[in-house]
Copies of this chain bind each other. A is one copy, B any other.
Amino acid sequence: MSEIINKTSCQVCPYKSMLFQKIPEDQLNEVNQCKKQFRFKKGESIYKEGDKIEHLIYLHTGLIKLFRQSGEGNQIISIAKPYDFVGLLSVFSNQSYLYSMTAIEDSELCFIHIDCMKKEIKQNGDFAMGIIEKMSSMTDNLLNYKYSLSKKNLRGRIAQILIDFADNIYKTNEFKLPVSRREIGELIDMRTENVIRIFSEFRRDGLIKINGPTIEITNIDLLRMINEHG
């Protein structure tokens, strides 16, 4: 089960976001009042599609998947990593969450009450502008990511996701995959069988090594080539 943990005061929080740096001392105290910190274990559900939106979630450590149930089989929208505002893009236009969220690694999260955010936005123009800029760049990134995926063939998509894990999430060429083959398929829109097939192909061709759940990228240059030209 998720557990509540002691609050770090925003003033000294090591995860203090660029955004909250724009808030003066006294207002930051208000934010402190309306936030809670939680720890979720790998596999635990944080919110489900349709739950009432009450908090904006800021991810300190861990990984969260955002996904949507669509008949048989889910669709993963994105994977949030530390310093991300999880689901920021839709919290301000909906009464309830459009996506479910589940921790895919042990995670620590800061829950900030949405009314508190709104109040802050209304009374602090710089903060509002910061939120807008953040939303704007998140949208750009998401669209870019999805568009570049949709143009690629299957090998190119697998290459992209491996590079993404190595470069942007784990910052190393050897890492433990936090998602199953099926989940990878749900994220980059292909069948589980083909995810496996191309992993095997990459292994045979010496691009990666697979040791149980851990992946080591052994030829990142070629992988980048496949990512670009796939």
Contact across chains for B70 and A140 when beta carbons are under 8 A apart? no
Contact across chains for B75 and A136 when beta carbons are under 8 A apart? no
Chain A 64-95 interface 0/1 with B at a Cβ cutoff of 8 Å (1 = within): 00001010000101000000000001111110
Contact across chains for B89 and A151 when beta carbons are under 8 A apart? no
Contact across chains for B140 and A90 when beta carbons are under 8 A apart? yes
Of the candidates B68, B70, B89, the one whose C-beta lies within 8 Å of that of A139 is B89
**A156 → B minimal CB distance (Å):** 14
Number of copies: 2
Interface of chain A: mostly helix, strand, loop or mixed? helix
**A72 → B minimal CB distance (Å):** 12
Q: How long is the Cα–Cα vector from A126 to B216 in the complex, in angstroms? A: 50
Q: How long is the Cα–Cα vector from A150 to B186 in the complex, in angstroms? A: 13
**A216 → B minimal CB distance (Å):** 31
Contact across chains for A93 and B137 when beta carbons are under 8 A apart? yes
Which residue of chain B lies nearest to A75 when distances are taken between CB atoms in the complex? Answer: B147
Of the candidates B93, B126, B134, B142, the one whose C-beta lies within 8 Å of that of A133 is B93
Q: Does A49 contact B (CB under 8 A)?
A: no
- Residues 12-60 of A contacting B (Cβ, < 8 Å): none
Chain A 129-141 interface 0/1 with B at a Cβ cutoff of 8 Å (1 = within): 1011111110110
> Which positions in A face B, CB cutoff 8 Å?
68, 70, 75, 77, 89-94, 98, 118, 121-126, 128-129, 131-137, 139-140, 142-143, 146-147, 150-151, 189
Q: A89-B136, A92-B132, A121-B132 are in contact. List 4 more A-B contacts (CB 8 A).
A: A91-B136, A94-B136, A98-B140, A135-B135
